[in-house]
Amino acid sequence: MKILLIIAGLCALGFSARWNWWRLPKKGVAILMYHKIGTPPRDSRLRKLWVSPRKFEQQMNYLRKKSIPVISFAEYYQMLQEKRVPEKAVIITFDDGYQDNYSEAFPVLKKYGFKAMFFLVSDTIGIINKWHDPATEPHQKMLSLEQIREMQAAGMEFGSHTLSHLNLNALNIEAANIQITKSKPVLEEVLGKPVDIFAYPYGAGAYNPRVKQLVKPAGYKLAVGIKQAINMRDQEDLFALKRITVRGDENMFDFYLQITRGKNRL
């Protein structure tokens, strides 16, 4: 009997470590970070960055069913300016600009009437992503100009994810500055409107003052990093906003914990 109780106790501890239900819910804006929507290729070593189309739809459906407001970055910026950030809202973001964002995510977003932000790597538009080692993660097709324009016409937002997806912490200051500043006019030319939001590749630079100080003078209004948390209403660093990674191997309970607590695991 004693043994059974010990086993049950250990199971409960294990469950609570893997799924942090005991954290208190947090008020603020949860910025979700997706990469690829689809089935990972067999030789992918970055499978967690692939969310299946079925799961993505379930997640969007959950936001709708629970009436959780999905806001755009333009709306969020306005709310920050006016100091009326909501107690509960979600922003949907996609990093890198993969073509599957158009083929798999865009139809679902349209179906639910949700806007999302897509962070583009300006040198790779219409071609493939070249920054992964193809031995560990096959190169993927990136959004084309036509696809970007179609998505924009349907209300989607686009931000900068640099020129070529280098690790900004590994560059000298001039090279980092070029990556941050030069992608902006290229994208503005494509979109025909200002590009106000920046995302640091790998989150690198968001926590490095030497790099982070380059972003505001480049003309961006906000920037996102990859620290896992909900953005509380009044205390955020607007050039290192927190995001929540939605991993392909997580279930709906994880998703619920993420958007209510900002974290689902230790």
List residues near Zn ion by CB under 5 A.
Answer: 95-96, 201
Residue 77 dihedral angles phi and psi, to the nearest 5°: -60, -45
Distance of CA 257 to the CA centre of its chain: 17
Measured from the CB atom, the residue of 242 and 261 that comes closer to Zn ion is 242
Tokens of 100: 């599957």
CB of 121 to Zn ion, least distance (A): 7
CB of 93 to Zn ion, least distance (A): 11
Measured from the CB atom, the residue of 85 and 211 that comes closer to Zn ion is 211
CB of 183 to Zn ion, least distance (A): 12
Q: At what angle do helices 183-191 and 145-153 cross, to 10 degrees?
A: 60
CB of 8 to Zn ion, least distance (A): 43
Q: Which residue in the shown chain puts its C-beta closest to Zn ion?
A: 95
**Angstrom distance (rounded) from CA 120 to CA 104:** 17
Measured from the CB atom, the residue of 36 and 261 that comes closer to Zn ion is 36
Give, in order, the Cα–Cα distances in Å from 1 to each of 5, 6, 7, 8, 182. 6, 9, 10, 11, 68
Residue of 62, 95, 38, 83 whose CA lies nearest to 244: 95
Q: Which residues contact 76 (CB under 8 A, 6 or more apart)?
A: 29, 85, 89, 91, 222
Measured from the CB atom, the residue of 26 and 161 that comes closer to Zn ion is 161
Measured from the CB atom, the residue of 85 and 204 that comes closer to Zn ion is 204
Amino acid at 192: G
**Angstrom distance (rounded) from CA 195 to CA 240:** 17
Amino acid at 92: I
CB of 78 to Zn ion, least distance (A): 26
DSSP 70: B
CB of 239 to Zn ion, least distance (A): 17
Measured from the CB atom, the residue of 95 and 157 that comes closer to Zn ion is 95
